[in-house]
């Protein structure tokens, strides 16, 4: 599938990069060798690397940043290459990236683009836009957002609003994910 047109990707990419840097994630532009696990993206010692010439989908930056954001800084610094997290942390990264897309007021097709999520992007777009959020219990457990339970609705930090964007000092995580 073709990448999104440049007139959509560059402003989205710039907003995403400013946000990621603003919350304290390390992000660097670099020329990356082919192939990388996602076009124009790699991770080296917890630094999210991107190659502007090869980056096909700026929403992929949000998703990979989500993987980094939901683990403590000590773990984050050890991550290189592609993220091979368990299902719970994968879902947390998806939920985190959706919350970030909402915060940035990005169209969902930037995050859940047709070439992503192993063919499941349309399902994710439909579920999240209908309020059926996967991965939120993990973000709640980590103390990054308030529960979705009815008694918490209306809280200033009920998902997709985040209490904190990085897991540093997360309440639910005692050890690194396997």
29 vs 16, 43, 47, 94, 126, CA distance in Å? 13, 11, 10, 23, 32
| Beta carbons of 16 and 8 less than 8 angstroms apart | no
Q: Is the pLDDT of residue 150 over 80?
A: no
CA dihedral sign of residues 45, 24, 147, 113: negative
Phi, psi (rounded to 5 degrees) for 174: -95, -25
70 within 8 A of 51, measured Cβ to Cβ: no
Contact between 162 and 103 (Cβ < 8 Å): yes
If you average pLDDT over each of 32-36, 52-56, 98-102, 144-148, which comes out highest?
98-102
> How many whole angstroms from its chain centre is CA 115?
16
Domain ranges in the chain are 6-152
- What's the mean pLDDT when you consider all of the chain? 86
Query: What pTM was estimated for this model as a whole?
Result: 0.87
Measured CA to CA in angstroms, residue 39 lies from 18, 34, 59, 84, 118 at distances of: 20, 8, 12, 17, 14
27-62 pLDDT, tens digit per residue, is: 999 999 888 888 999 999 999 999 999 999 999 999
């Amino acid at each position: 599938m073709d990448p999104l047109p440049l007139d959509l990707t560059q402003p989205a990419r710039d907003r995403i990069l400013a946000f990621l840097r603003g919350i304290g994630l390390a992000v660097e532009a670099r020329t990356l060798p082919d192939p990388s696990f996602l076009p124009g993206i790699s991770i080296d010692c917890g630094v999210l690397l991107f190659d502007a010439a090869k980056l096909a989908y700026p929403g992929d930056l949000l998703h990979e940043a989500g993987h980094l954001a939901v683990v403590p800084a000590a773990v984050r610094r050890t991550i290189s290459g592609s993220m091979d997290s368990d299902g719970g942390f994968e879902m947390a990264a998806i939920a985190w990236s959706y919350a970030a897309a909402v915060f940035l007021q990005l169209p969902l097709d930037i995050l859940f683009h047709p070439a992503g999520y192993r063919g499941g992007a349309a399902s994710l777009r439909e579920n999240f836009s209908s309020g059926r959020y996967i991965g939120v219990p993990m973000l709640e457990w980590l103390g990054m957002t308030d529960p979705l339970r009815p008694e918490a609705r209306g809280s200033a930090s009920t998902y997709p609003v985040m209490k904190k964007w990085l897991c540093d000092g997360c309440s639910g995580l005692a050890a690194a994910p396997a």
